[in-house]
Amino acid sequence: MTAQEILNEIEPLGRESYRKVLFNHGVPEPCFGVKIEELKKIQKRVGMDYRLALDLFETRVYDAMYLAGLIADDAKMSKMDLQSWVEKAKGCLPLEGFTVAWVAAGSPHGLEMGLKWIESKEEGIAAAGWATLGALVAIRPDVELELGLFKKLLQRVEKEIHQAPNAARRAMNNFVIAVGTYVAPLSKLAMETGEKIGVVKVDVGNTSCSVPFAPDSIRKIEQRGAIGKKRKTVKC
């Protein structure tokens, strides 16, 4: 299939009510308002397709860009591809904090790009960086992680989170939760970091979303006996 054929297929699936939900969550036009469950039907049919994913992201249509993340062959994504995606996603919080981060984390360049992006003065790119690092710890075995580096990142979050821009602040809080959840050797430190940080205030706009208190989120996982249990993928 081509990107244009997919656009032709998904446009009639859009719903105005869902478009409004997406707009409230920071999605700009153009957006058809196609539910993720419909996009996943196409994902199942298409499978992984590196070239098609790049073409879909180029359309600048939100629904197609989200689908691009689902079908991307992360292992084939170059640093240039990832940089292009984070720049094209600028201004769209769900793409920056989810789609781009998921694909980057699954690529061979996740750590490098995540560390690069958190230094950005652009709020959305910085948020994408923290989200990438959080996704990375969810799927990479601990033996592949430089624990000393992630300790330093937790310390950085503790010092900087309350002065960070809105989207980055939220992503940093989620990073603490991810480390506490998926990296067993650092779970206690992440919980302590969350306690020191306290409640993180984020403007969630016209949505019902809330910002979790990191230690509470980590404790819930601990109570289930699931600390350190990795995920096969962070895409959803």
Picking from 161, 143, 142, 162, the residue whose alpha carbon sits closest to that of residue 153 is 161
From residue 90, give the alpha-carbon distance in Å to each of 60, 70, 83, 86, 171. 11, 19, 11, 6, 15
pLDDT recorded at residue 99: 98
Say what the pLDDT of residue 170 is: 96
For residue 33, pLDDT over 90 is answered with: yes
Cα–Cα distance measured from residue 173 to residue 176, given in angstroms and rounded to the nearest whole number: 5
Six token digits for residue 202: 């984020």
Contacts of residue 61, defined as CB under 8 A and 6 or more positions apart, other chains included, come to 7, 30, 31, 32
Domain residue spans of the chain = 1-72, 93-236
Q: Output the pTM of the full model.
A: 0.96
**pLDDT at 208 (0 to 100):** 81
Inter-residue contact 139 to 231 (CB < 8 Å): yes
Q: Residue 230 — pLDDT band, cuts 50, 70, 90?
A: very high
Integer angstrom CA distances of residue 121 from 107, 127, 182: 24, 10, 28
**Band of the pLDDT at 207, cuts 50, 70, 90?**
confident
If you average pLDDT over residues 49-58, what whole number do you get?
A: 98
Mean pLDDT, the chain, rounded, equals 97
CA atoms within 13 A on the CB side of 21: 11
Reported as a pLDDT band with limits 50, 70 and 90, residue 31 is very high
Q: What is Dmax (Cα atoms) for the chain?
A: 51
| Residue at token pair 């994408």 | 128
- Kindly tell me if the per-residue pLDDT of 209 is higher than 90: no
**122-169 pLDDT tens trace:** 999 999 999 999 999 999 999 999 999 999 999 999 999 999 999 999
